[in-house]
Structure 1
Amino acid sequence: MITSKQRSYLRTLANPLQPLFQVGKAGIEENFLKQIDVALESREIIKIKILNNSGITAREASDIICTAIGAEGVQTIGSKCVLYKRSLKKPRIELP
């Protein structure tokens, strides 16, 4: 669990990022979760865009993904969500 100070720091880091993944009408499948997990291992923080035709909100998508892969939901604004997961091999981000 991350603190509010750490969450604020991560939001600052995520601000200039572009979304790496999109959740569409196919929804959140097992292969999609594996790709997100690999991306989080290498980058530690990613942004995901939830399309209107997906049938779920950005908050719901964030909760599903975080539960499935053990990540932390940093922020959800509009149709985008930011996820963080500390890398096991090469941690880059030092949380305050």
Structure 2
Amino acid sequence: MLTGKQKRYLRSIGSTIEPIVQIGKGGVAQPVIESAKDALLARELIKVRVLQNSPEEPPIAIAFLAESTGAELVQVIGRNGLLYKRNQEKPKLELP
């Protein structure tokens, strides 16, 4: 679990990054989950965007993606969400 201070730190980094994973008309399908897992492994912190044509509501879709990938849900604002998962072998971010 992330502390409030750690979430604030991740939100400050996340405000400058572009969405890497997009959830579209297929919803949170297996290819989206695999793409998110690969991105989390490479970057640890990713931004997810839920497109207008997605069948699910953004908070639900992002929370489901976080659960499916084993990541921490840092934040959801509108149609965007931040997910964090520490890479145990090669950590990229140093949390406070």
**TM-score above 0.5, yes or no:** yes
The answer for the alignment partner of 2:92 in structure 1 is 92
Deviating beyond 4 angstroms after TM superposition, the runs of 4 or more aligned structure 1 residues are: none
The answer for the alignment partner of 1:25 in structure 2 is 25
Native 8 Å contact 1:47 1:80 kept in 2: yes
1:8 matched to 2:8? The reply is: yes
- Measure, in 2, the Cα distance between the counterparts of 1:10 and 1:52: 26
Q: Give 1:89 shift.
A: 2.1
The gaps in structure 2 that reach 5 residues or longer are none
The answer for the alignment partner of 1:59 in structure 2 is 59
- Measure, in 2, the Cα distance between the counterparts of 1:81 and 1:41: 17
Native 8 Å contact 1:22 1:50 kept in 2: yes
Equivalenced residues, count: 96
Q: Give 1:56 shift.
A: 1.5
The gaps in structure 1 that reach 5 residues or longer are none
Native 8 Å contact 1:41 1:88 kept in 2: no
The CA RMSD measured in Å over matched residues stands at 0.9
Q: If the length of structure 1 is used for normalisation, what is the TM-score? A: 0.94
Aligned residues: percent identity?
A: 40
Q: If the length of structure 2 is used for normalisation, what is the TM-score? A: 0.94
